[in-house]
Amino acid sequence: MLCFPTETFYAVGCAACNHKAVALIYKVKHRSFQKPLPLACGSLQQLQAYVEMEELPKALVRLWPGPLTVLVRPKTPFLLAKELLNPLGEIAVRVSASVQVQALAKALDSPITVSSANVSGGAAVHNYQEISKELWQGLLSLDVPIGVLEQNNNVSCYNLPSTIVRIKKVRLRHRATHIIELLRLGAIDFKAVRRLGLPVRLNCLEPQK
């Protein structure tokens, strides 16, 4: 179990292939299994082991590494903890721009969960000093090894979470194309998504902190 900085907020996480550890993250955060934990890969090469890259438009992939989370169907057989799948059979994943996240994902040889280091419903955390007493007590009660990585300036690169999109294949004007369904505005703004040159369907209202 680790607390570590990402390119957005400070996170608590573990190897996404460790079923027991993933279940403990849900427990310590008091997070519903109906809200799958977001994941981060350390590189595109690592992502390719878990996701059918043909499902992702090349224009979208150019925004990685960075704070863009994509809902996408994973490869089969599914190699990660089952709790990470949403009801549509998707995982929420990004390729992280954080050097620390990249190093962790490489060392663990697995994508890692990157949910903010807070109890579900609490304020996002920017550094380890902001972690609530409740979360610390929950972590200590698990009786598992806990690690903490500091960030040099103790401040995340953004004041917003990752932008979340879903990719849908549709037929427009008698040809197959992708539509980007924008589910949450965040560190990557709407204009950047529009510049990808793909149809965008806005399914959210305001950037969320």
Answer yes or no: is 6 within a domain: yes
Determine the pLDDT at residue 200.
Answer: 87
Number of domains in the chain: 1
Give the domain range for residue 140. Answer: 2-65+72-158
21-42 average pLDDT score: 96
Q: Report whether 77 contacts 49 (CB < 8 A).
A: no
- 50 within domain boundaries: yes
CATH number for the domain that contains residue 46? 3.90.870.10
How long is the chain?
Answer: 209
Mean of all residue pLDDT scores within the chain: 90
Q: Is pLDDT above 60 for 183?
A: yes
Residue 110 lies in a domain: yes
pLDDT band at 170 (very low <50, low <70, confident <90, very high): confident
Residue 208 has pLDDT above 50, yes or no: no
Q: What tens digit of pLDDT does each residue of 56-81 get?
A: 999 899 999 999 999 999 999 999 99
Contact 148, 128 (CB under 8 A): yes
> 208 lies in a domain?
no
Q: What is the mean pLDDT of residues 183-200?
A: 89
Q: Does the pLDDT of residue 11 top 60, yes or no? A: yes
pLDDT of 207 over the 70 cut: no
Q: CB of 176 within 8 A of CB of 166?
A: no
| Whether pLDDT at 136 is above 60 | yes
Distance CA 72, CA 91 (A): 6
Helix, strand, or coil (residue 48): helix
Q: What is the pLDDT of residue 32?
A: 94
* Contact assessment for residue 115 and residue 143, using Cβ atoms and an 8 Å cutoff: no
Select the highest-mean-pLDDT range: 48-57, 86-95, 164-173, 193-202: 86-95
Residue 2's DSSP bridge partners are 13, 147
Give, to the nearest 10 degrees, the angle between helix 133-141 and helix 19-29. Answer: 140
Higher per-residue pLDDT: 173 or 141: 141
Q: What is the pLDDT of residues 101-115, one digit of tens each?
A: 999 999 999 999 999
Q: Is residue 151 part of a domain?
A: yes
**Measured between alpha carbons, how far is residue 93 from residues 36, 41, 69, 143 in Å?**
11, 7, 5, 28
CB 84 within 8 A of CB 16: yes
Find the mean pLDDT for residues 85-100: 95
**Residue 147: inside a domain, yes or no?**
yes
Q: What is the pLDDT of residues 147-159, one digit of tens each?
A: 999 876 544 566 7
**Is there a domain that residue 35 lies in?**
yes
Residue 121 maps to a domain = yes
- pLDDT at residue 152 in the model: 61
Cβ pair 102, 41 in contact under 8 A? no
